[in-house]
Chains A and B, each alone.
Chain A
Amino acid sequence: MVRFESVGLRYGRTGGRDPAPEVLRDISFELPEGTFCWLRGASGAGKTSLLRLMYLAVLPTSGKLTLLGADIGRTPRAGLPPLRRRIGVVFQDFRLMPHLSAFENVALPLRLAGGSDAQIRADVIELLRWVGLGRKLYTLPEELSGGEQQRVAIARAVIARPSLLLADEPTGNMDEAQAERLMVLLGELNRIGTTVVVASHNDALVERHPAAELRLDRGRMVREP
């Protein structure tokens, strides 16, 4: 499902006499299909960079990355969008489209996948109701609270039933009840086979939901699942 083999990542210059510093060094681990895994580490340890590699926002500068059965180094650029469609991401800053309603934001992955209007409508309404936004389907993000925006972001990440779900501090703007509700959703997705990786600082949450753990320290993997 996810395999890192001596993966390194630099932002900026990757070669020459003065290459940019490596933000991730010699990362190796494997997550089998259906894994639930916490990603831990102090601020600046490289959690977000590791997640960016996993949702293909950046490509490794060294080593070998295998995602959803594809060797990313050997996959042509045109082959990456279909892989991205199988990966759901909940961003720390939500990254919602400000000009699109909650409904349209959540519908976006299905539209990119070529779903029919009727099916998209049914699925999106059902999921937005499930996350408690049934009455705010056509509200713009700026008119939603932080917690509501995060629920829209979560709904967008899971609407296409991704094979790999990545979340970067997903409970950062939630109260405890909402965080637990999210963990239930992530757990259900994991039970039906979705591989879930959650980066979190919330020790209490991690203790309440014990699972495999990846731990980073200054760009190096210090604990594998």
Chain B
Amino acid sequence: MKVPSASARALRADELGLRRALPGRTLPLMVAAMALLAALSVAGWIGTSALARQWREGAGTAMTVQVPRPNEPSAKPDTTRLAAAVALLAGTRGVASVHVLTEAELTDLLRPWLGDSASQLALPMPAVVAVRLSGAAIDLAVLGHALDDAAAGTAVEDHGVWMRRLSALAFSLQACALLALALVGAVSIAVIAVATRAGLAARRDAIEIVHGLGATDGFIAGRFARRTMLLAAFGGFVGAFIAVPALLVLAQFAAPFAENASASPGHAALFAALPIPLWGSIAALPIVAAAIGFVTAQLTVRGWLRHLP
């Protein structure tokens, strides 16, 4: 007796003829495009998150103190106003470092506004002290009063306005990326649902036959879900594969904003060009696409089968 051929055995798992009804090109292509867009959205979200953190750490932990007439004596004996202010700052809990800007540094700061002659101007320049905070909470009002007592007229600038503006900008960018990601997810679900419904229409007769033979909704939905899951996973893999070089190119453009530009050679540099959470997200794309395909097909087919008794 002739044994079942390989093709006959292969057909066994495709009772509904879904290999023809859900062809292996269109759906993976659409899902691949969605996966690529998802990767770009995730990259945007992770990138803006990193940028926001960087801004917070930079601007949020820095403070500038201006001491007018720095070389005049302070209220304390044998001390200049600048020295009194620096001593007070250095002794304050939560201050990590105190740096008095040199004449050259001040000139550099003023150059954009006053040009190269900034150092030769006869204007009374205040001393500028760059203060780096360690993260412990500092009551700026109390510190301001203490500085004013030590050197009257001393001004404290905590960059709060800029930090709030940067935070708002970063939040907007993150929200845009998340919105794009949600939109990509919704479009993916719609694409898979439409493809599944097309498959249902194409295989209506076959479905009615197996339904009449006693197939459960779970059996029929499971066959569709398995096929859709495989196609979506393949599409997700292709999209992720294309996303890697695209993101590496974008990472090159964004390198000047990166927290730590990599100096590692070869493959390590390639890997380090993208943050680890982004690599994880790219790796997860085929799995997420497969899950969306499976669940969408299950729900679509089970909903459609409700029309049968």
Number of interface residues of A (CB under 8 A): 33
Can you name the residue of chain B whose Cβ is closest to the Cβ of A156?
B213
Question: Which one, A89, A99, A113, A121, contacts B212 given CB within 8 A?
Answer: A89
Contact A80 B309 (CB under 8 A): yes
Contact A109 B212 (CB under 8 A): no
CA distance A109 to B15 in the complex (A): 11
CA distance A172 to B264 in the complex (A): 80
Number of interface residues of B (CB under 8 A): 25
Task: Flag whether B214 is at the interface (Cβ < 8 A).
Answer: yes
Asked, given contacts A80-B309, A125-B1, whether A108 binds B8 with beta carbons under 8 Å apart, the answer is no
Contact A138 B5 (CB under 8 A): yes
Contact residues, A73-88 vs B (CB, 8 A):
77-78, 80-85
Task: Flag whether B215 is at the interface (Cβ < 8 A).
Answer: yes
Chain B residues with CB under 8 A of A59: 309
Q: Which of B212, B213, B214 has the most CB of A within 10 A?
A: B213
Contact residues, B1-25 vs A (CB, 8 A):
1-2, 4-5, 8, 11-12, 14-15, 17, 20
Distance from B147 Cβ to chain A, minimum over Cβ atoms (Å): 78
Contact A99 B17 (CB under 8 A): yes
Can you name the residue of chain B whose Cβ is closest to the Cβ of A57?
B212
Contact B216 A81 (CB under 8 A): yes
CA distance A82 to B217 in the complex (A): 12
A115-127 to B contact mask, C-beta < 8 Å, 1/0: 0000001000100
Contact A97 B17 (CB under 8 A): yes
Task: Flag whether A103 is at the interface (Cβ < 8 A).
Answer: yes
Contact A97 B15 (CB under 8 A): yes
Question: Which one, A85, A98, A99, A137, contacts B214 given CB within 8 A?
Answer: A85
Asked, given contacts A82-B214, A104-B8, A138-B2, whether A95 binds B309 with beta carbons under 8 Å apart, the answer is no
Contact A103 B210 (CB under 8 A): no
Chain A residues with CB under 8 A of B209: 95, 97
Can you name the residue of chain B whose Cβ is closest to the Cβ of A89?
B212
B47-77 to A contact mask, C-beta < 8 Å, 1/0: 0000000000000000000000000000000
A34-59 to B contact mask, C-beta < 8 Å, 1/0: 00000000000000000000011111
Contact A84 B1 (CB under 8 A): no
Question: Which one, B11, B15, B210, B309, contacts A58 given CB within 8 A?
Answer: B309
Distance from B204 Cβ to chain A, minimum over Cβ atoms (Å): 12
Contact B8 A97 (CB under 8 A): no
Contact residues, B202-240 vs A (CB, 8 A):
205-206, 208-217, 219
CA distance A221 to B11 in the complex (A): 44
Distance from B179 Cβ to chain A, minimum over Cβ atoms (Å): 40
Can you name the residue of chain B whose Cβ is closest to the Cβ of A108?
B213
Asked, given contacts A97-B209, A138-B5, A138-B8, whether A112 binds B214 with beta carbons under 8 Å apart, the answer is yes
Q: Pick the 4 closest A-B CB pairs, nearest first.
A: A85-B214, A84-B214, A99-B17, A81-B214
Residues of B at the A interface (CB closer than 8 Å) are: 1-2, 4-5, 8, 11-12, 14-15, 17, 20, 205-206, 208-217, 219, 309
Show 10 A/B contacts (Cβ-Cβ < 8 Å), sorted by A.
A55-B212, A95-B209, A104-B12, A107-B12, A108-B15, A112-B210, A112-B213, A112-B215, A113-B214, A125-B1
